[in-house]
Structure formats: structure tokens, C-alpha cells
Structure 1
Amino acid sequence: MAAALSRTPSDPRAALLVIDMQYDFMPGGALAVAEGDQLVPLINRLGAQFRNVVITQDWHPAGHISFASSHAGRAPFDSINLPYGPQTLWPDHCVQATRGAELHADLDIPHAQLILRKGCNAGIDSYSAFVEADRTTQTGLAGYLKERGVDSVFVVGLALDFCVAWSAVDARTAGFNTWVIADACKAIDLGGSLEKAWQDLTAAGVVRIDSADLTG
């Protein structure tokens, strides 16, 4: 798969997107992804190779519309329809200024230029780093990257079948060459969501690679 790479990490036109490496997505967290903490050393190594790094941080206000606790009689992982479309309901997680919302303390990419907080709108969920779940509200990330001369993104982090996949698909829609580094991601795999994510990624033109394709 390495032959498919048109950008290397050191290329100033490439950026690494590190998605939601926060305590609530780690083992013991409110919305834990199995073995999510095991990604930290690999992501640190990858981050050191890139000139451009963006880190995202889920940052929900209390009572967010995506929380099951905000809907009487509903439980986590139920699905409901909201004004902007279907919504999986989640346990309360990554609430602003709580420990669960903090980035993992061992995440060590000091040259990251931007920490993008998403999911801040109380009435709209936001998996993607580029476009909120209403599929209209922009985060501004596409413009930020393009103004910096970035045309290619490599995506890692949590969770592969939600925030990573949505971010990667939206990166392609915004015109970026996009790769998902599969072994630097972990998935929730809720009701077949992982298989569907890979189907959506492939259909969008996102390329799947492993970290060895970058590190040799």
C-alpha cells in the first residue's frame, strides 16, 4: 500500500489528524474504546514524523443532545431521530472541563499547531473534525488546512468507526487526499459500525494504510 502514498509525513502539504485521544474514550472511561490507550505510543511516534499536526478534542456542554440522559426513557446506544437526522445516544462523555474530556497525559506531540474542540454546540452532535452532524455547520478545519498549504491528511485515533471515519470521509469531500492509518486507530464496533465505516471510507476514496507504510 505504500506505493499509493503521494505525500510523506515530512511534506509540508501533509498533516496528521489525531482524533479524540481523551480519557473518556480510554479503558475505564465513560465511552471506552477497548485498548484505546495502547495507541498513544504509536501516535506519538507518528506525530514526530509530521510537520503539521492537528489534535481534536470532543468538548460537550453538560446536557448535550447526544446524551441518553437528555432524553427521558432512553438508554445509551438507543437511536432516535433529531431535527438533523438519526442520532445514536451516548453515555455522558467528554463534558467540558472534566477529566474525561482531557487529552491523555502521555500524548506527546508538542509541535501540534491546533487543538480543535468539537461537539460544543448543545443541539448538534459532531463526530467529524470538519462538519457537524447536521452536515451543514463547518468547524473551519478545511479552511485552516488549505490556508496553510495542506492538501493531504493522515487520520489516527478514536474511534475508527465514528469520529475517525466521519473525519476522513469529510476530508475527502473537502478535497484532501486522505489516508487512515488503520493500526493507529481502535473501533467501538457497535452493531456492525466498523464494517460500514470501512465501506464508507472506501467508497469516498480514502486509502487504508498501516504505520509501517510510513515508518518502513
Structure 2
Amino acid sequence: MKAALLVVDMQEDFCPPRGSLAVQEGRDIAPVINSLLAHSGFALRVMSQDYHPMNHISFADNHPAPNNRPFECVITMNNPAPEKKAETRLQRLWPVHCVEGTQGAEIIPEIETSKIDLYVKKGMHHEVEMYSAFADAFGNVDPAVTAQSVDADLKSFLISKGITDVFVVGLAGDYCVKYTAIDAARAGFISYVIEDATRCVIPGVGWEQAKQELHEAGVSIIRSDGPEISRMGGDS
């Protein structure tokens, strides 16, 4: 076993009290995440960031009324892969958030970042969403397709370091954490979500639905004080 910790999108815009897309209690999980970051059982530590252009397709403000209400309305995206242009997906609209170069895109200062081995900026293609740190909304992982969306090939990086197990924490459990963990499993890693180190956009119902999808994808849901962490040894 060689484990990586993936800290997903612990950014100002996703955290109270001022985040434009704040997740309830999002800032409160920082101590648990810091404890995990300090755990010497992890061979690698990765931090992802939403990093959108101002004209990103998911921003409600970029679409005409009346079909531009954040959280409620959806629009249609096209697959950016050249051979799959006809493939479409519906995309939920959000408030403007995590715009490249803004304070809202920065990692919150409560997170101890000194041991981060790789930062992954994602969602940079203005025409396609990217919740997962591995793949865009259409599941594309080929760097020839995703180069405009993400600045690192996370799967190749983890494989090159001999990683076998991936532990995912951060925000939000029902979106970016969920999709990152599912894609980690699809990429061939043993995948976990640490429940007490994540919070959801829709608490309760959103997390229950996410847990079902995670289980179906073969992702284990654990706690930071569970045996999966303690068996790695090291000090936390």
C-alpha cells in the first residue's frame, strides 16, 4: 500500500462567511484535514483548486434571463473531444466562483499547505465543467483533450509515484469530492472518501445520494479515526 491524500477545493469561495458558493461548515473541517496532511503514512499530498475563467459556462451570470437562476437552471454543454462533439450533457448553473487570480480562488489560510506535493488547477476551459481532479464532466482524461481544462495529469502523476490508494477530502462531498473519488476508482486506485473531512452543498439529502453513488463505484466511505488510516502507521 502506498497512499495519496487528495485535498479538494478548500477555497475561499466555497467557505463561509464570505464565499460566493459557500458550503455550510466548509471551513470547520480544516483541523481534520490538517491532521491528515501531517500524517506520515501518506506518501503524497495533492491539492486541487477550481480555477475558472470569468466567462465559464457554469456561471449563471453568463447566460440570459430568465433561464439563468443559479442552483435552479441548467444549460447544455458539448463534449470538447473532437470525435465526440455531438455528445451533450446538462450543466447546473452556479454563482460566479473561484475565478482565476482572485481571492475567492485561493486556498483558505487555515489549511497547512507546506507539505503539498502537487497543485491541480481545474475547470479552466470556459466551455466545459470539471468537478473531478482527474477528468472533465464528460469523463475525458486524455491530456490532448483536457489540456485546456486542467494543468496536471493527476492519474499519470500518481502512477509514476507508485500510488495504490487514494484518500479524498474537502469540498464539496456531493460534487467535486464525489467525482474525484469515483474517477480515482475508475483509474484503478483503491479509493476512499473520509466522511468527517468533507461537507456538502446540500447537507443530508445531497450526502446520502453521494454515498450511494460512491458505493456503486466501489469507493469506501471511512472516518479519519478509522482503521484504514491507522493501519498506514506513522504519526498523525
- TM-score, normalised with respect to structure 2: 0.83
Q: Work out whether 1:114 is the aligned partner of 2:118.
A: yes
Equivalent residue, structure 2, for 1:24 = 13
Verify the 8 A CA contact 1:57 1:116 in the aligned structure 2: yes
Partner secondary structure for residue 154 of structure 1: strand
Shift of 1:44: 0.6
**Which amino acid in structure 2 is aligned with residue 111 of structure 1?**
K
Aligned pairs for 1:196-215 within 5 A: 196-213=209-226, 214=229
Equivalent position to 1:185, from 198, 215, 218:
198
Verify the 8 A CA contact 2:11 2:105 in the aligned structure 1: yes
Change in Cα spacing, 1:89 to 1:160, as seen in structure 2 (3 Å) is same
For structure 1, which segment, 32-41 or 103-112, has the greater mean C-alpha deviation from structure 2 after superposition? 103-112
Give aligned pairs, total: 205
Equivalent residue, structure 2, for 1:194 = 207
1:119-161 CA-to-partner distances (Å, cap 9, x unmatched) read 0111111100100112224451111100111111000000000
- Give the aligned CA root-mean-square deviation in angstroms: 1.6
Q: Work out whether 1:14 is the aligned partner of 2:6.
A: no
Verify the 8 A CA contact 1:48 1:109 in the aligned structure 2: no
Equivalent residue, structure 1, for 2:85 = none
Verify the 8 A CA contact 2:77 2:127 in the aligned structure 1: no
Equivalent residue, structure 2, for 1:10 = none
Change in Cα spacing, 1:191 to 1:66, as seen in structure 2 (3 Å) is farther
Equivalent position to 1:98, from 102, 107, 111:
102
Q: Work out whether 1:79 is the aligned partner of 2:74.
A: yes
Equivalent position to 2:174, from 140, 157, 161:
161
CA distance in 1, matches of 2:203, 2:77: 20
CA distance in 2, matches of 1:191, 1:90: 20
Partner secondary structure for residue 144 of structure 1: helix
- The share of aligned pairs that are identical, in percent, is 43
Change in Cα spacing, 1:192 to 1:88, as seen in structure 2 (3 Å) is farther
Partner secondary structure for residue 198 of structure 2: strand
CA distance in 2, matches of 1:134, 1:94: 21
Change in Cα spacing, 1:191 to 1:211, as seen in structure 2 (3 Å) is closer
Verify the 8 A CA contact 1:33 1:159 in the aligned structure 2: yes
For structure 1, which segment, 119-128 or 77-86, has the greater mean C-alpha deviation from structure 2 after superposition? 77-86
Shift of 1:15: 0.1
Shift of 1:106: 1.8
**Which amino acid in structure 2 is aligned with residue 183 of structure 1?**
D
CA distance in 2, matches of 1:190, 1:122: 28
**Which amino acid in structure 2 is aligned with residue 82 of structure 1?**
M
Equivalent residue, structure 2, for 1:170 = 183
Equivalent position to 1:150, from 163, 177, 182:
163
Partner secondary structure for residue 164 of structure 1: helix
Verify the 8 A CA contact 1:19 1:155 in the aligned structure 2: yes
**Gaps in structure 2 of 5+ consecutive residues:** 79-87, 143-149, 232-236
CA distance in 2, matches of 1:193, 1:67: 21
Shift of 1:111: 1.6
- TM-score, normalised with respect to structure 1: 0.90
**Which amino acid in structure 2 is aligned with residue 207 of structure 1?**
S
